[in-house]
Every structure is written in C-alpha cells, then in structure tokens.
A = this chain, B = another copy of it.
Amino acid sequence: MVPDFKFVSIGVDLGGTKVDIGLVDPHGKIIQHIKEPTNVKGGPQAIIQGIAVAADKLQKANPSLKVSCVGVGVAGQIDHVNGSVRFAPNLKWNDVPLQQELHKALGLPIFVANDVRVATWGEWLFGEGKGSQDLICLFVGTGIGGGVVSNGHIMTGSTNSAGELGHMTVVLNGRKCHCGNRGCLEAYAGGWAIGEIAREEIAKDPAGGQRILQEARGNLEDVTAKQVSKVFLEGDPLANKVISQAVDALIGGMVGIVNAFNPEKIVLGGGVINGLPMLVPIVEKGVKNFALKVAAERLKIVPAKLKEEAGVVGAAAMASRRMKNDN
C-alpha cells in the first residue's frame, strides 16, 4: 500500500534579528512557516529550543506530511564536517555544535550552512539558477557574498569558505574594507560602502548632496545605501555618481569572476540589487563587453528569484539534496 503522507523538508533561516522556520515541499514551495524574533540574549540553548518547538508545531499542524530532514542557514562560519557554528557575530556564538544539538532535539538529519551558501542552494535548485551546472550567485547587500556551483556541485573549498567574492581585490591599495584588507569589491559596491562613499561625496559637495541629506533628515551620518538608491531613482546627479562607481566596480569584479570560474549564469541578488533591479542588464552588458570572449559567450546575468524566501527555501533545498547525494 502506498503511504498516505508526503515527504517534505524543514528550512530554517537563523539571523541575528529573526528566525524563520518553514515546511517546504519538494518543489521549493513554503507550505507553512513560523517567524519569530531571535532570542540572542537567551543564548544558543534558547534559540535551539525555539527552533525545535516551532518544527514540532509545524509537524503537528500538518499530519499528512512527513519531515525527512532539516536545513539551517546561519550568518556565520560553519564547519562543513560536523555542522558546528564556528563564529556568528550577530548571534554572539562561538563554536556552537548546532547540528548535533538540533539532531538531539528533533531526531532528524540536520544540515547547517552559511546563509549565503544556503541562498545559493535555493537559487540553484528552485530559483533562477535551476538546471545550471556552472553557476555563480552574487549577493550585493550590506556586504557582498557569493556561492559557486561548479560542474553540478556546490563548491565548499578547503575550509568551507569558498565564495567570498566580495573580498576579491579590484583596486590594489584601494579603499579600506571591513575585512581588514584594501580594495575589495565590497569596499566599492557593498551597501555599507555605497553609504560611506555617498557621505564622503556629500561632505565634499553639500549642495549636490541636498536631496540625499533630506532623506536622512539632514543627518549626514544617517545616509545609507537605501537613501542613495531611492534618490538615484529620481535622477539625482550625486546619487547617480555614487551608484555608477559601484556599478563600475561590480563590472570589474564580475569580469574577474567570469574569467576565473567561467559560469554559464550569474544570479545577482541582495538588498542593493533588489532595490535597483534595472542595474542587472547594465552590469550584464559591461561584463560581456570586458570579459574574455570564450568565457562570456554563453553567459547570462539575471536577478535572483527567491528574495526574502531564499533562506527558508534554500536551507530546505540544501538539506534534501545533501541527504540524497552527500553533496
């Protein structure tokens, strides 16, 4: 007799401000999810307990569905072998055996990965990267992170940190980056850098910066990429200058990525891109213009599909795929 339940996965998006736990079907659709503030003060045990309780609720509310595995995306460094969180500054975690503890609580196979890696799994299996054998996902948010699929496998690297594409040097001895180095792509095109560069430009040209400043209620130190993006859409010349510089850096960095990795597709996501999707075709044109012909001949650059669902859907996708393939 065929059993009357269907197999699903649970995806967990564990961030510093909220944790989102969802039941995800094999086609990447969220059936039901529970979103709660992250109890950072309670420490790892409180957060892990909270995830276990929510997972239990979701299972009980859907008795016809059988959960086969759980995937968790965490903003931090993850040990690929044992699924421990080595370091997660937003959670204030150091060496938390998340996989082991969640397995104890739920009795299910648990897979843990970095949030950007998880978002890459989501775009690869259920988003714009579906079917790609050689894919790059580049997420331009406050920082810039990426994920790489090479020959049909997610790239981990030797210490599970492959894909830190925001920290490729694009200007030797250039602007200071939060990572401690100089001239990283992120220091020119990440959200924090767009804000920083805008503040510098406004300080040099207060008249030109008036419109952006207005959005920040006159406080220069409150200017962020969000205000710059909003005013850019109105055609403000100073915002245009700042965003154009970020686009040039993105093109330069992505030319290097295309020549080095030779992907068939690049999925561009993250807050900066989601806010300014019209940049995607501009970036595509520039990259195709300056990359090696052989490397870019079949290349497509497209906006990400999953947006705010990327964490839950990607974590579930990763878990079900890794359980099958030991990928």
Contact = CB atoms under 8 A, between A and B. Distances in A.
Given A153-B151, A261-B162, A262-B164, A172 B249 contact: yes
A203 B66 CA distance: 75
A88 interface: no
B263 A181 contact: no
Contact of A260 (B151, B255, B260, B291): B260
B158 A263 contact: yes
Taking residues whose C-beta sits less than 8 angstroms from the other chain, chain A's interface range is 35 or more
Interface string A160-171: 111111011111
Contacts of A261: 155, 157, 162, 260
A317 to B, nearest CB: 19
19 contacts: A134-B158, A150-B150, A150-B157, A157-B263, A157-B295, A158-B264, A159-B264, A159-B297, A159-B298, A160-B262, A161-B259, A164-B295, A168-B255, A168-B259, A171-B172, A172-B188, A172-B252, A181-B291, A257-B260
Given A158-B298, A170-B172, 17 more contacts: A133-B158, A134-B158, A148-B260, A150-B153, A151-B155, A155-B261, A156-B262, A161-B294, A161-B295, A167-B255, A168-B256, A169-B252, A169-B253, A169-B256, A172-B248, A179-B292, A181-B290
